[in-house]
Amino acid sequence: MSPTASGKARRQLNAQVITLAHGSGGKAMRDLIEDVFVGGFDNEHLAPLEDQARFELSALATYGNRLAMTTDSYVVDPLFFPGGDIGKLAITGTVNDLAVGGARALYLSCAMIIEEGFAVDKLRRIVASMKRAADEAGVCVVTGDTKVVTRGAADKLFINTTGVGVIPAGIELLSHQAQPGDVVLINGHVGDHGAAIVDARGELSMESTIETDCQLLNDLISCMLDTCPGIHCMRDATRGGIATVLNEFALASDVGIYLDESALPVRKAVRGMCEILGLDPLYLANEGKLIALVPQEFAEPVLQTMLAHPAGTDAAVIGKVTSSPAGRVVLETGFGGERIVDMLVGEQLPRIC
Amino acid sequence: MKEVMKYVDEFRDPVMAHSLITKIGELRDKLALNKGKPLQLMEFCGGHTHTIFRFGIEPLLPDWIELIHGPGCPVCVLPMGRVDDCVALAERPDVIFTTFGDAMRVPGSRKSLLQAKADGADIRMVYSPLDALELARNNPDRQVIFFALGFETTMPSTALTVLSAQSRGIENFSLFCNHITTVPTIKAILDSPDMQIDGFLAPGHVAMVVGEQPFEFIADIYHKPIVVTGFEPLDILQSIWMVLQQLADKRTEVENQYKRIVPKQGNPPGLDAITQVFELRDYFEWRGLGSIDHSGVKMKSEFDAFDAEKKFSVPNLKIADPKSCQCGEVLKGVIRPWECKVFGKACTPESPMGALMVSTEGACAAYYNFGNLSELLARRNRQEALA
């Protein structure tokens, strides 16, 4: 048992399930926080249990000249699915949101809303998964909050993470910078996460298991920016899929984007599910995929950098930026036709992240 | 890198598509094109409409062919009054209301099922009526209603579910039956005085159940060629070619392009299940087309215990379509979707006014979502120049 900052032995949580007492501010809550969270996340910023984490500004400034901050809430159902869980998602999602802005992710907060009756061992598994992802990303969970709500007031567990990072001088990734001639790159297969969640809900009894693509993108992005610091636009394609991200770029930059359907990497099992359910992989959620718009002359070197990285082994050129039709994304179908790819109307699948 | 999917990619081969399009183009000289008016071919089924837009087939066709997108999307043609009935049933505290996902957004006069769910109604999306039956078995203290929707394609599975509920004695299960029939609806379109359609692509999945015979009157009485068509892009192109070939040969008959799925006699056990459980209604109301005789089915009286319309009180009010809506004219090929006064303005996929904007299989929603409007308008100008 590691000691707390005051040198006392850390408190232990012996309960099997979370009760309202664990959110009450009393001893039970102290047991939960010290044992599960402080013990689980295990870092010097969290251990003092002050009401806030504190950082030296001068240390931050060594990484760059701008702070970046982002927040995301995670409500995925089910909590555990092939290739990941809500904890891994809560770290990678927020780190990736910083990374696609060129920021080096440093610190994360973690707020949990837990439904009473939730099993403590599941909570420990989730925190351990968060810790693994945080270590891999090189970030620390430095502050947090815990609320327990009555049965039915929330479904099992919701997590919010907020991330702070620093953007190095000279890196300017902005969605309005797309230029005609830019090349559209993706780092791998489309739609795995959305398909994995549908599969994990077990409503379809599919033959094969589809794994989420949930993965960190920060190191891949850092390598891509080393190859080409002048990448114009970058976003991770989560909810709404790559169709949504490309539409955002097309609208913000007032350009057209042509996608080549036959170049789009989609796994056979994901395509199969889409064919059966009438879903479109372009709109399916991803949790480890980025779209980058790269000046033409850098497209090949950036692609090679991506292919050489474990998070980009299936990277591909999937399209190009044109001057017209401005604000529109057009898919050149593998069949030889063309169609407009619009923003999604309504919800394709609820609670996927 | 791209993995080939067996039984799918063969039917999406661009080289084959190109040769079919060339063959279609070569038929032009053999066809007596009327006063320069483009030939109008109707694909009845929403599944075909979806394929046509998803693969961008329309712009690949010569200008002298115009596709008219028919009323074969059961979600689209569901009248507002029936949606209101669904909401009323779903809002009963003792009810779990089950439905296919695509019916959730269809607007009623007060609200859609999606809004009713947000307001607290217990509405669940299922992939099969058997899932609803299972839900009934697992919730014996609740009433589980399945919203049965669709043409003959989905009738056998709901009929068999009712028979299964009966034989297993699952009494808390019932059906809100909104099944509709294909043939009377095609007949209503053919009888319409402003009808201009030259040939039909028949719905392959309906034919899989009912067979070829029910479509014969279209060729024999109305003298229009009709081809039972599959749902992959090459199926559609081949069927267009087959319809044109009939026109060129001055033949009118029922041909079957979708032989790999559709036997001539259909699916007799499926038809047996349908006739065991369902009987024709005198008439049924369609959004956009109004009331059509014998265009819907209801459950036979011996299944009253499983009929939600008998088991619960359903408001059953008739709500008129908005006046500005021109869905009926679009459905008959009199105007194109974008020529409707409210298209893309008062009527959009986010807040649909008319039937055809409701589901992605509706012609207007398909044009709105997938269509390149400037290209469509240019195409219309070219077609008018032909005249």
Q: How far is B131 from chain A (nearest CA, A)?
A: 9
Which of chain A's residues have a Cβ under 8 Å away from the Cβ of B233? 335
Nearest CB neighbour to B105, from listed A265, A337, A346: A346
DSSP letter for B387, please.
-
Q: Is A223 exposed, middle or buried (0-12, 13-18, 19+ CB in 10 A)?
A: middle
CB of A193 closer than 8 Å to CB of A267: no
List alpha helices for chain A, DSSP H: 27-32, 39-41, 57-61, 86-99, 120-137, 192-200, 218-227, 241-253, 268-277, 296-307
Residue of B nearest to A265 (CA): B2
Kindly list the distances between the CA atom of residue B214 and the CA atoms of A19, A24, B48, B155, in Å, as whole numbers in the listed order: 64, 70, 19, 16
Which of chain A's residues have a Cβ under 8 Å away from the Cβ of B54? 333, 339
Which of chain A's residues have a Cβ under 8 Å away from the Cβ of B350? 345
Q: What is the pLDDT of residue B368?
A: 80
**Chain A residues 248-277 with a CB less than 8 Å from chain B:** 262, 265-268, 271-272, 275, 277
Which of chain A's residues have a Cβ under 8 Å away from the Cβ of B12? 334-335
DSSP B307-369: BHHHHS-------PPPTT--HHHHHTTSS-GGGSTTBTTTB-SSS--SGGGTSTTSHHHHHHH
Q: Do A342 and B370 touch (CB under 8 A)?
A: yes
Sheet holding A157-167, edge to edge: A66-74, A157-167, A104-115, A140-149
Residue numbers in chain B where pLDDT is lower than 70: 1-4, 35, 360, 370-387
Q: pLDDT for B293-315, tens place per residue?
A: 999 999 999 999 999 999 998 88
Q: How far is A195 from chain B (nearest CA, A)?
A: 16
Across all residues in chain B, what is the average pLDDT?
A: 89
Q: What is the pLDDT of residue A1?
A: 42
Least Cα distance to A161 among A187, A133, A136 occurs for A133
Q: In this complex, is the C-beta atom of B278 within 8 Å of any C-beta atom belonging to chain A?
A: no
Interface A–B counts its CB contacts (< 8 A) at 69
Q: Do A335 and B5 touch (CB under 8 A)?
A: no
Q: What is the pLDDT of residue A276?
A: 82
Q: Do B55 and A339 touch (CB under 8 A)?
A: yes
Kindly list the distances between the CA atom of residue A159 and the CA atoms of A46, A47, A141, A145, A303, in Å, as whole numbers in the listed order: 18, 20, 13, 10, 34
Give the pairing type, strands A316-322 and A290-294. unpaired
Q: What pTM, to 2 d.p., does this model score?
A: 0.85
Residue of B nearest to A325 (CA): B372
Residue A33: φ, ψ to 5°: -65, -45
What does the angle CA A177 – CA A182 – CA A186 come to, to the nearest 5 degrees?
100
Q: Do B60 and A337 touch (CB under 8 A)?
A: yes
Q: Which three-class secondary structure state does DSSP give residue A80?
A: strand
Written as one letter, the residue type at B358 is: V
Q: Do B57 and A346 touch (CB under 8 A)?
A: no
CB of A110 closer than 8 Å to CB of A53: no
Beta strands, E only, B194-247: 199-203, 226-229
CA dihedral A300, A306, A307, A312 (to 10 degrees): -140
Read off the tokens for A130: 């968060």
Q: What is the pLDDT of residue A109?
A: 97
Per-residue pLDDT tens, chain A, 353 aa: give them: 445 555 567 888 999 999 999 998 889 999 999 999 999 999 988 888 888 999 899 999 999 999 999 999 999 999 999 999 999 999 999 999 999 999 999 999 999 999 999 999 999 999 999 999 999 999 999 999 999 999 999 999 999 999 999 999 999 999 999 999 999 999 999 999 999 998 888 777 777 789 999 999 999 999 999 999 999 999 999 999 999 999 999 999 999 999 999 999 999 999 988 888 878 899 999 999 999 999 999 999 999 999 999 999 999 999 999 998 889 999 998 888 888 888 876 666 667 76
Written as one letter, the residue type at B311 is: K
Read off the tokens for A104: 């080096």
- Bridge partners (DSSP) listed for residue A9: A3
The full length of chain A comes to 353
CB of B159 closer than 8 Å to CB of B302: no
* CB contact set of B15 (below 8 Å; sequence gap of 6+): none
d(CA B21, CA B240): 10
Give the count of alpha carbons within 13 A of B120, CB side only.
4
Q: What is the pLDDT of residue B350?
A: 81
Which of chain A's residues have a Cβ under 8 Å away from the Cβ of B10? none
DSSP letter for A345, please.
P
Q: How far is B88 from chain A (nearest CA, A)?
A: 23
Q: Do A337 and B57 touch (CB under 8 A)?
A: yes
The label of the residue with tokens 């351990």 reads: A128
The label of the residue with tokens 């891509």 reads: A224
Best A267, A277, A282, A339 member to test B by mutation, with max B CBs in 10 Å, is A339
The label of the residue with tokens 């026109």 reads: B247
